[in-house]
Amino acid sequence: MFNSKTLLFIFIFFISSCSSIPKNTADGCSIFSERYLWYKHAKKTEEKWGTPIYIQLAIIKMESDFDWLAKPKRQKIFKVIPFKRPSSSFGYSQAVKGTWKQYKNETGNMLATRTRFKDSVDFIGWYTNKTEKILKISKTDAFKQYVAYHEGWGNYKNYKKKQKIILLAKKVEKQSNKYKNQLTNRNSPAPSLAFAPAAVSPPLVSSRRRPGRRAR
């Protein structure tokens, strides 16, 4: 029988191993090599909503850099005294409470949580799918999809007046292209096996396939 201290250690180890930030978040191949289940979740989202994996990753990279507990920085009074946060954004996708509630109601995924990668990529798929329907923006257009993601469907039309948003969207577009190239170079006849654990799959790098290049 395990004592309470042992069980606590196992619990902490399990949580940290499942939720820690990948070592190289700029490299899609590195991310999925560390988090094989993340690849399965992202692939399922791509098949369900039509949102490419590289778009999903690029949005999360910009929003939280894959930090499951990410929150906006607190505002400060007189640049010193901590004040409230500017929004309720939280988790991988940085979804705000209201939009997350809408997502759960429309998809029926009532147990979804913003700290779970599986739910976060599904949320991104749902959101980008609605963006395509509402604003007629292709799910492969990283720049415009991110603008709509950041500004909301109602405020999208005003983004050209906001240089900061344009710069952020350009970064997302650039990162999505990097992820796309990395994942394409790493592809195999059986993509689902490309990031499988080494114990149950062929080596990630073979004489017939070049390893994915690191973005940084």
49: buried, middle or exposed (CB in 10 Å: 19+, 13-18, 0-12)? buried
Q: Mean per-residue pLDDT for 188-199? A: 50
CATH class, range 23-188: mainly alpha
Asked if residues 120 and 114 have their Cβ atoms less than 8 Å apart, the reply is yes
Per-residue pLDDT band for 184 (boundaries 50, 70, 90) equals very high
Number of C-beta neighbours around residue 120 at 10 A: 30
SS3 152: coil
First to last CA, the chain: 47
**pTM to 2 decimals?**
0.78
Asked if residues 131 and 153 have their Cβ atoms less than 8 Å apart, the reply is yes
- For tokens 């399922």, the residue is 44
Fill in the amino acid letter for 121.
Answer: V
Q: Could you tell me which residue, 190 or 181, shows the higher pLDDT?
A: 181
pLDDT value at residue 54 = 98
pLDDT value at residue 210 = 35
Summarised one tens digit per residue, pLDDT across range 26-72 is 999 999 999 999 999 999 999 999 999 999 999 999 999 999 998 76
Domain boundaries along the sequence of the chain: 23-188
